Amino acid sequence: NMALELYSIATAFIALFIVMDPFTSVPIFISLTKKFSPKHKKRAAEIAGLVAAGVLAGFLLLGPVVLSFLGIRLESFQIAGGILMLLIS
């Protein structure tokens, strides 16, 4: 079903957007690279993007394996994350 696929894509995009937090990441990147030449800024952005993609892919592939190895169910992890978010807010 096309609607279900669009919903899944939108949900994944929103989750990744929240995880990457561009509203915080971009100002930090700009302040860290303010003395860089435009060429070096572009290269730093490319490397940062590749590293972020690699970390996300690593967690995507290895996250379930690590949780299973540690005996942690996904539901327990979600509850713990919710509690942490509640405490932080």
What would the 3-class secondary structure string for 48-83 be?
HHHHHHHHHHHHHHHHHHHHHHCCCCHHHHHHHHHH
Examine the pLDDT at 70 and tell me if it is beyond 90.
yes
Q: Could you tell me the residue ranges of all domains in the chain?
A: 1-32, 38-89
Examine the pLDDT at 74 and tell me if it is beyond 90.
no
For residue 68, what pLDDT is reported? 92
d(CA 27, CA 32): 9
Residue type, 13: F
Q: What angle do CA 80, 84, 87 make, to 5 degrees?
A: 140
Mean pLDDT of the chain: 92
Examine the pLDDT at 12 and tell me if it is beyond 90.
no
The average pLDDT across 66-86 equals 92
For residue 1, what pLDDT is reported? 80
52-65 pLDDT, tens digit per residue, is 999 989 988 998 89
